[in-house]
Structure formats: C-alpha cells, structure tokens
Amino acid sequence: MAYKKIQKLLIALIFILIYQNTNAQYVITGVVTDAKNGDPLPFATVGLKGVNVGAQTNFEGVYVIKSKVLTDSIYVSTVNYKKRTKVLDKKALSQKIDFQLQGETKSLDEVVVYSGENPAFKILRKLNENRERNDRKRLSAFEYDSYSKMELDVDNISEKFKERKVMKQIQGAIAKFEKLAGEDGKAVIPTFISETISKYYFRESPSRKKEVILKNNIKGVGVKEGGFVSQLVGGNLFANYNFYDNFVPFLGKDIISPFGENWKGTYKWFLSDTTDVDGHICYGLEFDPKNDKDLVFVGKAYVDTTSYALVQIDATIGKEANINFIDKIKISQELEQTTEGAWLPAKTRFLVDIAELSKNSAGMLLKMYISNKDFVINKPKDLSFYDIPIEVAEDSKEPDPNYWLGARHESLSAQDILASRLIDTVRNVPIVKTYVEVAEIIASGYKRFNKFGIGPYINLFSVNKVEGFRMRLGFKTNSQFSKEWILKGWAGFGTKDLVLKYGGEVDYILSRRHWTVVGAKHSYDLERIGLTPELIGDNKIFYAFSRWGAFSGAFYRRESEVFIKTEPTKGFTFTGALTTRGFDPLFQFQYRTIPQEGPKSPTLDHYDDTFFTIEARFAKNETFLMDGNERITLGSKRIPTVTLTYQHGMRTLNGDFSYDKFMAKVFQSFRIGTLGRSDYTLQAGYIPTVLPAPLLFPHLGNETFFYNRAAFNTMHYFEFVSDKYVSLNYNHNFDGLLFNRIPAIRQLKWRLIASANVLFGSQRTENTELMQEAIPVINPRHIKGELQPRYSFSGLESDKPYIEVGYGIDNIFKIFRLQAFHRLSYLDHVSPSGRIPSPFALKGSVHFSF
C-alpha cells in the first residue's frame, strides 16, 4: 500500500516537472554598446543561435529576449560593427549579458543584389511626398521640457601615454573605469560632466528660438561654473537636428542628409526589415554613401509604414569623411508624433570622437544625450520673448541631489556616477591644474586671476625699425570684478623711439537683455597708414604681425572716444560714437590748407580729426553667448549681415575738417548644394568732401606671406586710395568635391579653394590736388631721426577695376592653407614705396578647422 502511494507521488512529480519545463520562460537582458566609447547602439539585432528567437535594442541599446527554448549561445549584429557571439548558461532562467562591439567598415554593395528597382526607393519617394505634413516646420510654434546630459572624456589612451607623469597620478581611477567598461570595452577618463533642466521654445514665422536654462549641475576639470558654461550645456540650440533638411549642420560643416533632395544621388539604400518601434510598424532602411570621402552619413533609419514619417535614425560619419581630427560623429534621434501630425525629437544622442594627434597621445570624446517631453504645439510667444536666445535662471545652480533624483528623465548609469567621482579626483591633481591653466592662456590670450586678466599674449612684444624692441602689457577686468563695469588698460614702450604708448577704457553695461553698453576710451600709439585697427577689423593676428619689420607709413595717433552700443530689437544693433584723433606722421606728408589757392596755399604736415559716427547693423537670427561681460557671436547662417555707417567730421573740439562719409557692408556665407560653401563681402563707400588722403578710403593691401581674406593679396599697403568705391571679396571652398574623387590623393583630405577680389574706385581731382606741392610748412615739427620717404596717394581709374583671382589647396596636413593669387590689372602701377608690385603672389596660413 505504501509502495503504491510512493509510485503515485513520483508519477505526479514527474508530470509537474514536465509541465514546468514545457511552460518555462527564459529571460535574457543586456546592453549593447560601442567598445571604443561606450555609446549605446540602437537597432542592433540580438538573437538565439539556431532558432528564430530574438529582439532589437532600443534607443538606449537595451534588449530583452523572452523564450520558451534556450540554445547554447546568443549573438548580436548591427551595421558597421563586427558580429559577436557569447555562451549562454542553460541552467539559468534569467541572465544578463552585455555586448561591447568593435567597429568595422561595411559596404552595402557586398550584400545587396537587386532585380529591377531598389524596393527602398518607393519608400523614400513616399517619405518625400509626405514631408510637409510630417516635418516640424509645418508647426507655427512648439515648446517642450528638456533634460540634457553632456560628458567630455579622454579616450584612446595609449600605453606610452599612460606612462606620463600626469597619467601615473590618476592610474587608480583609470583602473576603476577599465573594469566598468566591460570585458571588451576600453577605458575613458571623464573630464567634464553636466546635466541640465531647460525649457525650449521655437517660433516658425519669423524664425525664432530660445532656451531657458532652469537648473544645471556642472562638474569638470578646469571648468569654472558660470553663465558661459551653463549656456553651452543646454543642448537644444546646438543639437536640434532635422534630417528632413537637405543638409545637417555639425561643427561648422554641412553634412548631406540621407532624406534631403539628393538622397538618390549621394546614398546607396537597402530595405532591411519591418519592425515595431514604440507602437509604429516601420520599414528598416540602411544607407551607405556612394563616396565615403564626402560629407555624408552611414547608418540605419526607421520609417512609419502608414504616415511615411521618420521615426528613428542612427547616422554616423566615419574618419574616412573629409573632416579633420575626427574618428567618428554619430547622431541618433527618436521622434514623437504631435497632435497636429508633425514629428518632434523626443530623444537625441550625439557623439564626437576626436582623434589623437599622434600615436603616443590620447583622443577626446564628447557625448550628449537630450530627452524632451510635454510638447505644447502652435502657441507662439511674443517676438520680444525670443530676444535672448539662451537665458540662464538666476538660481540655476542646483546642488541638492534629491532634486535631480526626481528631475531626471532617466536615472544616471553606474558609469555616470563613477565619472562624477573621478572628476573630483582628477581636477585636484597639481599637474592637471597646470595643464588647464596653460590651455586657458592659449585659448583666451589672457592669464586669468580672480577679478582680472593680464594680456593678451599676442601683443606682448614685437620688433620693427621705428620702435626697435617693443614691449606691451595690458589687463582687463572680468564679471567677478563687476557685472556692470569693465576696465581695460595697457602700456607699451619701444627701445628705439623711447616713446611711451598707452591706452585705457571704461565701459558700463546698462542692459544685458538688449545689450546696451556705454563707454569711454583714450589711447596714444604708433600706427601704420592703411593698416589701422578700424581698417583691419577683427583680424587681431594679422594686426599683431603688421607691427613687425620695416613699419613704413608710421604715424603717432592720439585718440579719445565716447560711445554707446545697443540692440533695441533682436538682430538690429545701433552704435553711436564721438571721436577725436590726431595724425602725426613719421613720413614726408603735407596737404594744402586753402585748396582754392592752389600752389600758393599754406600746408600742414599733421592734422586733428573730430567726428561722430552712427552705425546700424542688421544680422537676422544671429545668436550670441555671454562669456561673463562679453558677448560671443555664433554667426548668422545663410542670411546676409548688413552694416550701414555714417560719419560726420566737425570743426569743433580741435577738428580741422568738416565732411560727410557714407559706408555700407554686406557679408554672407551660403551653401551651393554639393559644390561646397561660399562667402562674400560686398563693400561701398562715398565721400563728397575734399579731404587729405589718409581720411579717404585706403584699400587694404597685403605685403606679408600670410593670407588675409579681407585684403587684396597682390596689392601693396596704401597703394590705392578712393573717395568712392565698390568692392567684392568672394571665396569658395569646394569641401573636397574634386580631390575626393582622385584616387592618388583622396586620402590626404585636401580641399580645393578659389577666390576673386574686384575693386571699382576713383579719386576726384580736388582730392588729388590737395596733396600736391604748395608753400612748405613754416614751423615743421621736431622729429627724432630722419623722415621716411613721402607717400604717393594714387587713385584708381574710374573705368578700370582692380582685379585679382586666386586658387589653392586648403587642409594640407589638416592645418595649412596655400593659395596663389594673380593680379590681372594695374600691372605697371608704382606702389607708394616706389616698387612695381609682382603680378603673382603665394600666400599661406595656418588654421585649425574641422
């Protein structure tokens, strides 16, 4: 009897085990990341080997597989990465398996064979047909809450680089990160990490955008928390990518969008699969560039099968593309449909992997993640609301950890938490502090102290024939000294002329919202005719180098000025100034004081000039960042920047002349499809009054070996002077369009450049006669040494333009530009120095650009 009971119990137990086994469900989870940089890989296919069971990673690179069967291994594969396989534990019902994938180059030509039309083309045509109803541009306005996270790391750390002194002091921290990176991952050293809560606003017509930084949490090596850094970490103004546009701007480059007008001519396409993406059944499309040296993406996208809207995209630019110092640029975006039908970015992740400069150095890695939610559609704000594109709340710094626990859209990862701790360790290492300080001096030009800075270093010394060895030292205060007052000053001295030069300026910020500044300044310095700061403009390097060498056309100038500058409405800047200047030349110079008496007129060899200036500048959609008490422009893309200036000279406050001067300037940079990017500067000026030549319009020449895009590069200094003129400076960069298609040199990433400079001008007879011989100066000034030779102030022929054309190669060894110029007119003209200029000039420059 007992035996039968045991038998029944065993039979029941067997049935229970069989039932449990047949209904068992295995759960496998994990994260798929890039082994080099830790970036999550969306759209990766994960499956059990030998059976048709699998899943796809989401936007965070996470996958979940639930299966009633379990094989011995699991694999993962995705575009441009090596396939990986790992062994499974057959005894475990639940297990976590992460993958770190190594990148590889893949060409769709190797795996795709089509009969008839590519099936992806039909989907792409449908996407373009439905572009207007899906594109965010159809919305009159939108706004949303945003959370962004940014991290800057040191990566690609070579073994030799680890042996350096600075690295040995943080070896313990590096070891922790190597462990966290995973069995196949590589270590990175975080140097900056931030998270930001903001509100983003956009208005379509007229186009306006604004981001309000509500809270931020910033920690970094060498980073001083403040408004400037807080503006940079918001992200939405810089990473609001729209792949429906023909080009996606990034790092100053225009990347051809796979969904722009040239989708068929630029990319190869492959229809890969159909899958569910957050409730939307989508076509999977892989795209690959036809020429990987062009500015193009490679990647995968998902398009909704019903609305034909772009739902998700993962787009990468590899190191083969014609971009400098970059191993990889990756943009991933997930979009969400609004109530009006258009789609807005819900999640965006971008990564910039900066290559190491040498084999024994290290690279840099910039990562940013943006999450947006709570969309509000078609409720535009008043135009004045958008006046300040980036606004930081007064109480934006939020140190309370409990606040961030509830404010984050997603929790921090274990690597994020360790990164924050590691930064605290690294930034306190003494040698790191030294490196940071040196880098800051190079970047800003100033050695910064608590409330002021000393510099700029580029003007510390120079050597020329007039001053000998010239030394100069200056300072300026910062926002820690005062948020309203700005003080600047400098002093210089030459060992040959033994004359003290000096300058000082006091500014007061009346309004930051409409950027209104009033100020006064005074200076006494040695300048060069035709090379004054107002003529050279913002090219401070060219101005600094112009102080070296022969220094012909030298004169002492005493200058005093009071001014006001304001931006009453966005894009429009108004400047008013009252200025007095003294002209005291060191070369033979004279002008007739009573022109109507001709040769019988008395002459003077110096003058004083008093004038007021009214200037209006219009730059639509120009965006500024505030760096303490200074505004930094991010430019005005595609829209011309127009500047109109009027000056009136007065015979008051010691002024010797009464005159009117009118000037206009237009600058624009624009894209010409796949042909590259152009920019032009169109200028014009008119003076109806009789004046000495230095007060007319001297045209900027260039006698150096350095290229200057604002100058006429085959013209000598002060070779031509006009009282009315029109000029055009045009430059075009083909962005590798030609060299990318020449097999022998395409790896060099050279870029063909071309330019043309044209000048129409003239000088009236009255102005020419004003500078001719007359009664000599009665009481000439006492000047140490001999006077430099007399200048001739030639004008252009009214019906004969000055023309020069140029061509050359940019991006030689990634930093050099070499350009040849041919002078096509005035080939026999004698320059002020008595020489006939060469019709050919070769100019070079050094610049860092992506």
Complete DSSP assignment for 47-93? EETTSS-EEE--TTSEEEEEES---SEEEEE-TTB--EEEE--TT-S
CA dihedral sign of residues 324, 325, 328, 332: negative
Final residue belonging to a domain, choices 405, 437, 469: 437
Task: Look up tokens 């430019």; give the residue.
Answer: 635
Q: Tell whether 348 and 412 lie within a shared domain.
A: yes
Residues 6+ apart with CB under 8 A from 331: 241, 248, 250, 297, 313, 314, 315, 316, 348, 349, 350
Q: Tell whether 390 and 471 lie within a shared domain.
A: no
Peptide bond into 456 cis (omega under 30): yes
pLDDT at res. 459: 86
Q: Tell whether 71 and 141 lie within a shared domain.
A: no
CATH number at residue 584: 2.40.160.50
Determine, yes or no, domain membership for 5. Answer: no
Determine, yes or no, domain membership for 246. Answer: yes
Q: Tell whether 684 and 781 lie within a shared domain.
A: yes
CA dihedral sign of residues 519, 520, 526, 527: positive
CATH number at residue 72: 2.60.40.1120
The two structure tokens encoding residue 556: 């002492």
Nearest to 525 by CA among 604, 582, 597: 582
The two structure tokens encoding residue 430: 């003494």
CA dihedral sign of residues 374, 375, 377, 382: positive
Report the amino acid identity of residue 548.
Answer: W
Which domain covers residue 42, as residue numbers?
A: 20-104
Report the amino acid identity of residue 410.
Answer: E
- The 3-state DSSP class for residue 234 equals coil
Nearest to 30 by CA among 56, 49, 68: 56
Q: Tell whether 408 and 464 lie within a shared domain.
A: no
pLDDT at res. 434: 63
Neighbours of 653 (CB within 10 A): 12
Q: Specify whether the CB–CB gap between 457 and 427 falls below 8 A.
A: no
Nearest to 513 by CA among 431, 581, 568: 568
Final residue belonging to a domain, choices 43, 75, 104: 104
Task: Look up tokens 């990034």; give the residue.
Answer: 250
Q: Tell whether 433 and 450 lie within a shared domain.
A: no
pLDDT at res. 108: 47
CB crowding 400-412: b at 16 or more within 10 Å, else e: eeeebeebebeeb
Q: Specify whether the CB–CB gap between 554 and 466 falls below 8 A.
A: yes
Q: Specify whether the CB–CB gap between 749 and 742 falls below 8 A.
A: no
Q: Is 177 exposed, middle or buried (0-12, 13-18, 19+ CB in 10 A)?
A: buried
What is d(CA 672, CA 94) in angstroms, rounded to the nearest whole number? Answer: 56
Residues 6+ apart with CB under 8 A from 569: 384, 387, 514
Determine, yes or no, domain membership for 571. Answer: yes
The two structure tokens encoding residue 68: 């009633």
Query: Distances in Å between the alpha carbon of 573 and those of 515, 535, 539?
Result: 9, 20, 21
pLDDT at res. 784: 47
What is d(CA 482, CA 742) in angstroms, rounded to the nearest whole number? Answer: 57
Peptide bond into 289 cis (omega under 30): no
List 97's β-bridge partners, or say none.
none
Can you give the pTM of this predicted structure?
0.75
Q: Tell whether 134 and 99 lie within a shared domain.
A: no
The two structure tokens encoding residue 620: 């639509």
Task: Look up tokens 């690609």; give the residue.
Answer: 156
Query: Distances in Å between the alpha carbon of 390 and those of 213, 380, 626?
Result: 7, 17, 9
What is d(CA 244, CA 257) in angstroms, rounded to the nearest whole number? Answer: 7
Determine, yes or no, domain membership for 395. Answer: yes
DSSP label at 3?
H
What is d(CA 629, CA 477) in angstroms, rounded to the nearest whole number? Answer: 9
Domain tally, the chain = 3
Q: Specify whether the CB–CB gap between 247 and 254 falls below 8 A.
A: yes
Q: Specify whether the CB–CB gap between 280 and 104 falls below 8 A.
A: no
Q: Tell whether 75 and 128 lie within a shared domain.
A: no
Q: Specify whether the CB–CB gap between 221 and 432 falls below 8 A.
A: yes
Query: Distances in Å between the alpha carbon of 738 and those of 262, 341, 419, 813?
Result: 18, 42, 44, 17
Determine, yes or no, domain membership for 11. Answer: no
Q: Tell whether 451 and 366 lie within a shared domain.
A: no
Neighbours of 354 (CB within 10 A): 21
pLDDT at res. 779: 47
What is d(CA 333, CA 42) in angstroms, rounded to the nearest whole number? Answer: 10
Q: Tell whether 528 and 648 lie within a shared domain.
A: yes
Determine, yes or no, domain membership for 140. Answer: yes
Q: Tell whether 171 and 89 lie within a shared domain.
A: no
Q: Tell whether 596 and 548 lie within a shared domain.
A: yes
pLDDT at res. 233: 58
The two structure tokens encoding residue 318: 């590899």
Residues 6+ apart with CB under 8 A from 761: 697, 699, 720, 722, 724, 725, 726, 727, 795, 796, 802
DSSP label at 587?
B
Determine, yes or no, domain membership for 701. Answer: yes
- With a cut of 70, list the residues of the chain below it in pLDDT: 1-24, 105-116, 156-187, 221-238, 251, 356-362, 394, 396, 398, 426-444, 634-637, 776-791, 833, 848-850
CA dihedral sign of residues 56, 58, 62, 68: negative
Residues 6+ apart with CB under 8 A from 364: 152, 153, 154, 155, 353, 354
Residues 6+ apart with CB under 8 A from 482: none
Determine, yes or no, domain membership for 357. Answer: yes
pLDDT at res. 88: 86
Checking 831-838 for CB contacts under 8 A at 24+ apart, the result is: 831/716, 831/719, 832/552, 832/553, 832/716, 832/717, 832/718, 832/719, 832/791, 832/792, 832/793, 832/794, 833/552, 833/716, 833/789, 834/789, 835/716, 837/714, 837/715, 837/716, 837/719, 838/714
The two structure tokens encoding residue 673: 């499809």
Final residue belonging to a domain, choices 52, 77, 104: 104
